[in-house]
Amino acid sequence: MGFDFDVIERSLGYLFREGMTFTVTLTLLAMTGGIIFGTLLAMLRLSAFRPLAMLAGGYVNLMRSIPLLLVIFWFFFLVPYIGAWITGASQPIRVGAWMSAVITFTMFEAAYYCEIMRAGIQSIARGQVWSGYALGLNYWQTMGHIVLPQAFRNMVPVLLTQTIILFQDTSLVYVISATDFLGAASKVANRDYRLVEMYTFVAVVYFIISYSLSLVVKQLQNKIAVIR
Amino acid sequence: MHYNWHWKVLLETEPGGSGSYLHYLIVGLGWTLVTALAAWVIALAVGAFVGTVRTTSAGWAVRLGNLYVEIFRNIPLIVQMFLWFFVVPELLPTELGDWIKQMPPPWSSYLPAVMCLGIFTSVRIAEQVRAGINSLPRGQRMAATALGLTQSQAYRYVILPQAFRIILPPLTSESMNIIKNSSVALTIGLLELTGRARAMQEFSFRVFEAFSAATVIYLLTNLLVVLLMRILEQRVRVPGLIAAGGAPQAGH
């Protein structure tokens, strides 16, 4: 069987303009949303009010115990119902693959970011919180000005490593037929019957991006280690 | 907006006629476990080997090990799945490739899925093994050398038995990961638990019953794995050692 690597060159524009844009935008949105929601979850998990802590803990553990693919399916079908419930519509509303993917990955990754932020918050000395209160700051001020900035800073390398994993995981939107980088490549591959060439190319691109990012994280880690 | 639950659907016969939908899902769990177990064997063997090699004094072997880890850690699982399913059979000698492609289902997807998951997880195990070995006090290795053990004897009798006990907790989460990750095999046509929940939803139009059932089955499976690993941890524990806790790590 002959190989035809021209197919890659012919579809480069489509692959990157459509596919990679989808992948990168989804990654950035889910990262931002996931870190914000994850930090809130972490604060809830550490809250002294037991029912809230248990609720947040239950959510995080549930998300972490079932496969991402199942979560993607869940949200793909659940979001239209939740949307209808919020807007008061009588029928499930229409939600495209894009919106569904953004919501899914934000909610799913939040569980993982939560555990990272929880470890970060717990790594801050208790005295810091006490001195915050002693200065007359309330809970939100203490968290916002003293604890979270330090926790976040300490956890930046782990948060970024998690984001690299998120970047790779977004390829699973393939199962809801979204046109991310893999989805775009797979459409071209099946149209031109060039599966070997396209999937090899996809693997190489993902490798280059993830590996470069992991080198950046490693460098950052060394830098932070020196400052401490 | 209201959803009418209809749990009895689980007892209705699935279109293939093999039994109830519940039975259909349980068979799916069987495939999930059989895939995860076979992949786990590969992952442990390869991972232990690569992880150990990366702590030795042989520079070229360390670099080769690092290369292996970086390659399989930086390509998404689903892409690796496609590589094993679509690409590898084309690159093999024609007869072997055709033999793989012509295997009756589900074996034609089972074999690539097991290879993919095994290699994918081996990289993560290699990292754990290396971290476990490096966490041992340096005196252990020195003492082994002072006793006249060769490098391979030191690994066999002193270093690895301790390292493996240290990394048992992270191995527990890896064994749960491999079960979860096996769901990606549905993209190459293996009807494991998630794949069957999806199929059940398509046949019966009972979306949330199907996914709820699958979710509960996954939760019970996780519980079982945690219990089994805890028993194993207690069995092999070295008296006097504090149970090792891991540092926060990224994962999925």
Which residue of chain A comes nearest to B93, CA vs CA? A1
Q: Is some CB atom of chain A closer than 8 A to the CB atom of B67? A: no
pLDDT attached to residue B243: 52
Q: Are B203 and B196 in contact (CB under 8 A)?
A: no
pLDDT attached to residue B242: 54
Q: Is some CB atom of chain A closer than 8 A to the CB atom of B224? A: no
Query: In a 3-state reduction of DSSP, which class is residue B242?
Result: coil
Please report the domains of chain A, with CATH numbers, ordered by start residue: 6-227 (1.10.3720.10)
Find the mean pLDDT for residues B6-13: 86
**B242 CB-contact burial (10 Å; exposed 0-12 / middle 13-18 / buried 19+):** exposed
The CA distance from B154 to B141, in Å, is 7
ipTM for the predicted complex comes to 0.91
Nearest to B198 among A73, A161, A200 (CB): A73
Q: How confident is the model at residue A88 (pLDDT cuts 50, 70, 90)?
A: confident
Find the mean pLDDT for residues B6-20: 84
Distance of alpha carbon A219 from its chain centroid, rounded? 22
Among B73, B82, B207, pick the best mutation site for testing chain A contact (most A Cβ within 10 A): B82
Whole-number percent of chain A with pLDDT over 90 = 77
Q: What does pTM read for this prediction?
A: 0.90
pLDDT attached to residue A1: 54
Nearest to B74 among A88, A169, A207 (CB): A207
For residue A72, give both structure tokens. Answer: 């993607």
- The CA distance from B102 to the nearest CA of chain A, in Å, is 17
Candidates B218, B83, B221, B51; CA nearest to A204 is B83
The CA distance from A40 to A42, in Å, is 5
pLDDT attached to residue B246: 47
Q: Which residue in the block uniquely carries the two structure tokens 């990292």?
A: B127
pLDDT in tens, B196-212: 999 999 998 888 999 99
Which CATH code fits B17-236? 1.10.3720.10
Q: Is some CB atom of chain A closer than 8 A to the CB atom of B245? A: no
Nearest to A66 among B91, B207, B218 (CB): B218
Q: How confident is the model at residue A11 (pLDDT cuts 50, 70, 90)?
A: confident
Distance of alpha carbon B104 from its chain centroid, rounded? 24
User: CB neighbours of A10 closer than 8 A, spacing ≥ 6?
Assistant: none
pLDDT attached to residue B114: 97
The CA distance from A198 to A189, in Å, is 6
pLDDT attached to residue A168: 97
DSSP state of B189: T
Q: Are A162 and A32 in contact (CB under 8 A)?
A: no
User: CB neighbours of B112 closer than 8 A, spacing ≥ 6?
Assistant: B81, B84, B85, B88, B100, B188
Q: Where are the alpha helices (DSSP H) in B54-93?
A: 59-73, 77-82, 88-91
pLDDT attached to residue B244: 46
CB pairs under 8 A between A and B: 131
Q: Say yes or no for a CB contact (<8 Å) between B181 and A67.
A: yes
The CA distance from A36 to A110, in Å, is 8
Residue A203 has pLDDT above 50, yes or no: yes
For residue B65, give both structure tokens. Answer: 């090990």
Find the mean pLDDT for residues A148-164: 93
pLDDT attached to residue B57: 84
CA distances from B198 to A9, A70, B36, B104, B194 (A): 36, 9, 19, 22, 6
The CA distance from B56 to A205, in Å, is 32
Summary mean pLDDT of chain A: 92
Q: Say yes or no for a CB contact (<8 Å) between A169 and B71.
A: no
For chain B positions 78-97, those within 8 Å of chain A (CB to CB) are: 78-80, 82-83, 86-87, 90-91
The CA distance from A161 to A217, in Å, is 7
Candidates A112, A101, A40; CA nearest to A71 is A101
The dihedral region occupied by B58, where left means phi > 0, alpha psi between -120 and 50, and beta the remainder, is: beta
Query: In a 3-state reduction of DSSP, which class is residue B13?
Result: strand
The CA distance from B225 to B227, in Å, is 5
Beta partners for residue B20, in sequence order:
B13
Q: Is some CB atom of chain B closer than 8 A to the CB atom of A112? A: yes
For residue A49, give both structure tokens. Answer: 């009010």
Give contacts of B197 with chain A, Cβ < 8 Å: 70, 73
Give contacts of A202 with chain B, Cβ < 8 Å: 79, 82
pLDDT in tens, A161-175: 999 999 999 999 999
pLDDT attached to residue A167: 97
The CA distance from B164 to B166, in Å, is 5
For residue B57, give both structure tokens. Answer: 């004094």
Residue B34 has pLDDT above 70, yes or no: yes
User: CB neighbours of B165 closer than 8 A, spacing ≥ 6?
Assistant: B236, B237, B238, B241
Among A26, A65, A159, A198, pick the best mutation site for testing chain B contact (most B Cβ within 10 A): A65
Q: Which residue in the block uniquely carries the two structure tokens 């569904």?
A: A100
Q: Say yes or no for a CB contact (<8 Å) between A112 and B83.
A: no
Distance of alpha carbon B242 from its chain centroid, rounded? 27
The CA distance from A20 to A182, in Å, is 8
For residue A46, give both structure tokens. Answer: 């550490």
pLDDT attached to residue B1: 60
Q: Are B72 and B119 in contact (CB under 8 A)?
A: yes
The CA distance from A132 to A119, in Å, is 20
Q: Are A146 and A129 in contact (CB under 8 A)?
A: yes
pLDDT in tens, B36-94: 999 999 999 999 999 999 998 888 999 999 999 999 999 999 999 999 999 999 988 88
Q: Say yes or no for a CB contact (<8 Å) between B87 and A84.
A: no
pLDDT in tens, B146-161: 999 998 999 999 999 9
Candidates B173, B166, B193; CA nearest to B249 is B173
Candidates A54, A31, A29, A32; CA nearest to A41 is A54
Candidates B194, B162, B187; CA nearest to A171 is B187
